Amino acid sequence: MPKRYPWHRIHAIAPRSHKQHHHHPLTEEGATALCQLSAGELGHIRRIRGGHTFTTRMATFGFTPGVEVEMLQNYGQGPVIVKVRGARVALGRQEARRILVERNGEMPV
C-alpha cells in the first residue's frame, strides 16, 4: 500500500541528520528557539519543528504547543535542562533548538 499519508509526508521533509538541524533558524515567526532561553527564563511553546516521530516523542515528555516551560540550566553549549509540566527533562542542544517558544520575560529573582 504505497500511499502517502500525512505523517509520512511530514517525515519526508523532516530533518534527519544533525547537519540539517542547523537549518532551523534561531528565531521564526516572532518566536525563539528554546535553546536561546537563559536559566530562569520562562516561555510558552509555540511549535515543535520536526517530523511525526520527533513531535510525538516530545509530546510524551510533556512538550506540546501552549505549555509553559522553564529553562533550568543553559550554559550556552551542550545539553539543557528544562522544567515542563512539573518534571525536569534534559534535552540535547539540537532538540532544544527545534522547539519554538514565546518568551515570558525574565523571572524575578
Partner 1 sequence: MTSQAPAQARTLTIALAGQPNVGKTTVFNMLTGLNQHVGNWPGKTVEQKTGVFEYKGYTIHLVDLPGTYSLTANSEEERIARDYILREQPDAVIVMLNAASLERTLYLLAELVMLPSPLVVGLNMVDVARQNDMVVEEHVLAAALGLPVIPVVASHNQGLEALLDAAIETALHPEGGQSISRPQLKPEHQAILERAAALLRGRLPEHYPPEWAALKVLEGDSEITALVQREAPDAWETIEAWLMEHEDTYLDIAGGRYAWIERLVRAAMRQPRAGSITLTDRVDRIATHPFWGLVVLLGVFGAIFWVTYTLALPVVNWLADGVITPLASWSSRSLSFAPPWVGGLVSDGLIGGVGMVLSFIPILVTFFAVLGFLEDVGYLARAAYVMDRFMHWMGLHGRSFLPLFLGFGCNVPGVMGTRIIEDRRARLLTILLIPLVPCTARMSVITFLAPAFFGGSAPLVVWGLVAINLLILAVLGVVVNKIAFQGTRTAFIMEIPIYHMPNPRTIALFVWNKTKAFVEGAGEVILITAVVVWWLSYWPDGNIAHSLLARIGTWVAPVGHLLGWGDWRMTVALLSSFLAKENTIATLGVLYGIEAGHSLSATIAATLSRPGALAFLTVQMLFIPCAATIAAIKQEAGGKWAAASVGLLLAISLLAGAAVFWIFTWIGW
Q: Using CB under 8 A, list all residues that contact partner 1.
A: 1, 3, 5-7, 10, 16-19, 52-62, 64-67, 72-73, 75, 77-79, 81, 84-92, 94-95, 107-108
Closer residue to partner 1 (CB): 26 or 107: 107
Taking each continuous run of H as one helix and of E as one strand, the counts in the chain are: 4, 7
Taking the least distance from each CB to partner 1, the nearer of 30 and 66 is 66
**Gap between the Cα atoms of 42 and 24, Å rounded:** 21
Between CA 97 and CA 70 the distance in angstroms is: 15
Task: Considering the complex, state which of residue 23 and residue 75 has its C-beta at the smaller distance from partner 1.
Answer: 75
99, 24 contact by CB (below 8 A): no
For residue 99, the minimal CB distance to partner 1 (Å) is 11
Report the length, in residues, of the chain: 109
Nearest of 85, 77, 3 to residue 35 by alpha carbon = 77
- Toward partner 1, which CB reaches closer, 44 or 57? 57
Give the DSSP H/E element, type plus range, for residue 12: helix 6-13
Q: How far is the CB of 9 from partner 1 (least distance, A)?
A: 8
Residue 56 Cβ vs partner 1, minimum distance, rounded to whole Å: 6
- The CB-of-13 to partner 1 minimum distance in angstroms stands at 12
